[in-house]
């Protein structure tokens, strides 16, 4: 298909079909950056309320930079991929402290922000500054693969190079911001993964996939996601004092999922076990005195992440308050229930708490 016709089709289609979304009414790079980070791996419908919460709570990059990480994670709670929230916060601090709140104003400068890769930098540069850079996300891969009939694996290095070069060659000289947004929107609404609306598509006469009936085969993505099964046994150490319930919680650290969020004492094993079997091979059981009471064991909860399938059980253990200051509990912090409400927590933990304590 001719380059000019392709761009005209996208621009015309976008003018008629674009969704009315708040980040499309602004040229402020801070808001556009927020929307792009929130929408990575997230559908618009799910991401929209988070965008609104962030804009309201942190109306400027300075406000976000000056917030404490725990509050940022709490606001992010439920969106998953928490490293995005931590990077967002770190990048806001960078803009505030190193650049005196002046948001980077070009593709190259944007790349210096933590968590901002090629895609996000080009999206911000294009949408906020109308810089002539191609934006290639999953939607764009699909549209290009189908219209131009390209069967190169989009997950391969060669595929990335080929699609990037094609996207660059198709960029119109003007309205690149509208064009890039139009490409992504066209992939999201018209040329969708499962049921592309070919019958009412302006690309129809020049689309290779439509002409050859290859919509289901394109794009080609060979890399398969490896799903890892994990088995979590959470020990909920709890005690009561002055009619208040206290639970032992731990802030997660390191490179594993949910870093920075709070959960309970975790024993991870290669399969699910009941409390008795768990005690047989765990160090904590050696500490068990007669005063510790195992009061409840939950059913197994399933929690699915993109690369991981987690099954979790919760084991409630009542401990006397007099024993909670011993060395064994040094990594736990005992919180009152109303304090726990404000902690950033994985959805799995939040749901369990809501069901059992609130």
**Please, are residues 316 and 236 in contact by the beta-carbon 8 Å criterion?**
yes
Answer for the pair 285, 279: CB distance below 8 angstroms, yes or no.
yes
Q: How far is the CB of 180 from ligand SF4 (least distance, A)?
A: 17
Among 12, 41, 97, 197, binds ligand SF4 (CB under 6 A): 197
Q: Does 198 bind ligand SF4 (CB under 6 A)?
A: yes
In the complex with ligand SF4, which residue's Cβ is closer, 181 or 215? 215
Q: Determine if 167 is a binding residue for ligand SF4 (CB under 6 A).
A: no
Contact 137, 167 (CB under 8 A): no
The SS3 call for residue 155 is coil
Q: Which is nearer to ligand SF4, 221 or 333 (CB)?
A: 221
**Paired strand residues for 114:** none
| Beta carbon nearer to ligand SF4, 33 or 186 | 186
Measure the CA angle with vertex 334, ends 329 and 338; round to 5°: 165
Provide the 3-class DSSP secondary structure of residue 306: coil
Q: How many helices (H) and strands (E) does the chain have?
A: 16, 8
| β partners of residue 245 | 240
| Residue 36 falls in the annotated catalytic set | yes
3-state secondary structure of 147: helix
Q: Does 73 bind ligand SF4 (CB under 6 A)?
A: no
- The smaller minimum CB distance to ligand SF4, of residues 122 and 190, is found at 190
Q: Residue 236, interface with ligand SF4 (CB under 6 A)?
A: no
The stretch near ligand SF4 (CB under 6 A) out of 49-57, 112-120, 208-216, 311-319 is 208-216
Burial of 250 (0-12, 13-18, 19+ CB in 10 A): middle
Near ligand SF4 by CB under 6 A: residue from 89, 146, 233, 315 = 146
Among 172, 30, 164, residue whose Cα is nearest residue 110: 30
Residue 274 CA to residue 194 CA, distance in Å, equals 42
**Contact flag: residue 204 with ligand SF4 (CB under 6 A):** yes
140 part of the interface to ligand SF4, by CB under 6 A: no
Is residue 210 close enough to count as binding ligand SF4 by CB under 6 A? yes
> How many residues contact ligand SF4, by CB under 6 A?
14
Q: Which two tokens stand for residue 317?
A: 């253990």
Sole binder of ligand SF4 in the list 7, 140, 144, 147 (CB under 6 A): 147
Distance (Å, rounded) from C-alpha 257 to C-alpha 312? 14
Report the residue number, 13 or 54, with the smaller CB distance to ligand SF4: 13
Per-residue binding letters, 176-195, with ligand SF4 (x by CB under 6 A): --------------xx----
> How is residue 339 written in tokens?
């304090």
Confirm or reject binding of residue 313 to ligand SF4 (CB under 6 A).
no
Of 32, 123, 150, 207, the one binding ligand SF4 by CB under 6 A: 207
User: What are the residues binding ligand SF4 (CB under 6 A)?
Assistant: 146-147, 190-191, 196-198, 201, 203-204, 207, 209-210, 215
Active-site positions?
36
């Amino acid at each position: 298909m001719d380059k000019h016709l392709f761009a005209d089709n996208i621009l015309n289609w976008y003018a008629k079909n674009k969704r009315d979304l708040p980040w499309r009414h602004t040229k402020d790079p801070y808001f556009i950056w927020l929307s792009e980070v929130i929408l990575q791996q997230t559908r618009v419908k799910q991401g929209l309320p988070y965008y609104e919460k962030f804009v309201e709570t942190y109306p400027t990059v300075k406000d976000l930079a000056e917030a404490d990480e725990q509050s940022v994670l709490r606001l992010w709670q439920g969106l998953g991929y928490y490293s995005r929230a931590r990077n967002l916060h770190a990048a806001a601090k960078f803009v505030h402290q190193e650049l005196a709140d002046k948001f980077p104003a070009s593709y190259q400068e944007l790349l210096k922000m933590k968590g901002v890769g090629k895609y996000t930098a080009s999206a911000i540069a294009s949408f906020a500054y109308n810089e002539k850079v191609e934006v290639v996300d999953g939607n764009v891969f699909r549209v290009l693969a189908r219209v131009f009939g390209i069967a190169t694996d989009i997950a391969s290095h060669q595929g990335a190079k080929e699609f990037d070069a094609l996207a660059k060659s198709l960029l119109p000289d003007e309205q690149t911001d509208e064009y890039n947004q139009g490409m992504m929107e066209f992939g999201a609404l018209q040329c969708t993964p499962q049921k592309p609306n070919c019958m009412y598509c302006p690309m129809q006469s020049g689309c290779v996939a439509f002409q050859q009936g290859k919509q289901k085969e394109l794009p080609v993505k060979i890399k398969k996601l490896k799903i890892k099964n994990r088995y979590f046994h959470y020990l909920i150490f709890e005690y009561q004092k002055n009619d208040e319930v206290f639970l032992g919680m731990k802030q997660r650290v390191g490179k594993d999922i949910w870093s920075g969020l709070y959960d309970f004492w975790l024993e991870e094993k290669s399969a699910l076990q009941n409390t008795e079997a768990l005690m047989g091979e765990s160090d904590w059981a050696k500490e068990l005195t007669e005063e510790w009471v195992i009061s409840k064991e939950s059913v197994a909860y399933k929690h699915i992440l993109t690369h991981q399938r987690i099954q979790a059980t919760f084991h409630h253990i009542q401990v006397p308050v007099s024993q909670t200051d011993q060395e064994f509990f040094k990594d736990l912090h005992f919180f009152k229930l109303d304090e726990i409400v404000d902690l950033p927590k994985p959805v799995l933990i939040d749901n369990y708490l809501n069901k059992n304590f609130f």
